């Protein structure tokens, strides 16, 4: 009875990790990265090497931090509550990505189907066209009123868009295989397909 009660209390405890130096290392890496990029963009060659140092620090931080988390998990420090919090964190991350793309495509829809026709004077927006940009024609794709975007050509669908689509679908397949390899404890297969996912972008 005492053992069962002890196990139940252990399951109810939430693991609070000890103090970690990895956030400080990550902040330092970001500092080097941002300073390096800024200096490099302003014409100083030293900025490139500062940026590389920032990248190296970030890779070191990610490797070490993930290694710490994996070590804690393997040693049995995480219980059901911690697992639930990890899943909730991933859920909110995916939700934020969905909202980002919803906002992006919503803005595209608004520009294409509402604002451009309004600027062109469609429906009852004659004075919108007259006052904001007289003579503007609502066409899509648009490079802005008065051709301010310069001349351009539509990208053919069988070129770069097709390549990007193939890469995206391929990486989703490789990461799914890696996930199943993780569940089956096949570390070699997991490593290979995770690396393939990384290379596919």
With 70 as the cut, is the pLDDT of residue 161 above it?
Answer: yes
Query: Distances in Å between the alpha carbon of 83 and those of 11, 14, 17, 79, 175?
Result: 11, 10, 14, 6, 21
Span 99-123, mean pLDDT? Answer: 87
Tokens of 143: 């490079």
Place of tokens 């399951």: 11
Give the mean pLDDT of 14-18: 74
Q: What's the pLDDT tens digit per position in 23-55?
A: 999 999 999 999 999 999 998 899 999 999 999
What length is written for the chain?
Answer: 201
Q: What is the pLDDT of residue 172?
A: 92
Identify which has the larger pLDDT, 16 or 160. 160
**Mean pLDDT to the nearest integer, 174-198:** 93
**pTM greater than the 0.75 cutoff:** no
Residue 6 is predicted with a pLDDT of 47
Q: How confident is the model over 103-113, as a mean pLDDT?
A: 91
CA atoms within 13 A on the CB side of 48: 3
pLDDT at 144: 63
Query: Torsion-angle region of residue 44: left (phi > 0), alpha (psi -120 to 50) or beta?
Result: beta
Of 135 and 109, which is predicted with more confidence? 109
Higher pLDDT, 53 or 18: 53
Averaged pLDDT of the chain: 85
| Cβ within 8 Å of residue 14, ≥6 positions away | 79, 81, 82
Give the residue among 32, 26, 28, 62 at the shortest CA–CA distance from 47: 32
The answer to whether residue 153 scores a pLDDT higher than 90 is no
Question: What's the pLDDT at 16?
Answer: 74
- Reported as half-sphere exposure (CB side, CA atoms, 13 A), residue 107 has a value of 5
Q: Which of 4-8, 140-144, 195-199 has the highest average model confidence (pLDDT)?
A: 195-199
d(CA 131, CA 126): 9
pLDDT, tens only, 54-84: 999 999 999 999 999 889 888 888 888 888 8
């Amino acid at each position: 009875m005492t053992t069962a009660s002890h196990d139940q209390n252990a399951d109810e405890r939430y693991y609070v990790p000890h103090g970690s130096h990895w956030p400080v290392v990550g902040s330092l890496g970001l500092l080097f990265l941002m300073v390096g990029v800024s200096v490099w963009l302003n014409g100083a060659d030293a900025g490139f090497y500062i940026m590389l140092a920032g990248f190296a620090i970030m890779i070191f931080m990610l490797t070490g931090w993930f290694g710490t988390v994996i070590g804690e998990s393997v040693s049995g420090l995480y219980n059901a509550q911690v697992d639930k919090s990890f899943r909730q964190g991933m859920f909110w991350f995916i939700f934020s990505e969905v909202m980002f793309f919803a906002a992006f495509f919503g803005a595209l829809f608004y520009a294409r189907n509402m604002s451009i026709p309004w600027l062109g004077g469609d429906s009852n927006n004659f004075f919108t066209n007259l006052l904001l940009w007289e003579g503007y024609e609502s066409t899509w794709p648009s490079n802005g009123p008065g051709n301010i975007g310069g001349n351009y050509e539509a990208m053919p669908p069988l070129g770069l868009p097709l390549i990007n689509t193939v890469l995206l679908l391929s990486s989703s397949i490789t990461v799914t295989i890696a996930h199943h390899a993780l569940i089956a404890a096949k570390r070699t297969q997991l490593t290979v397909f995770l690396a393939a996912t990384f290379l596919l972008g």
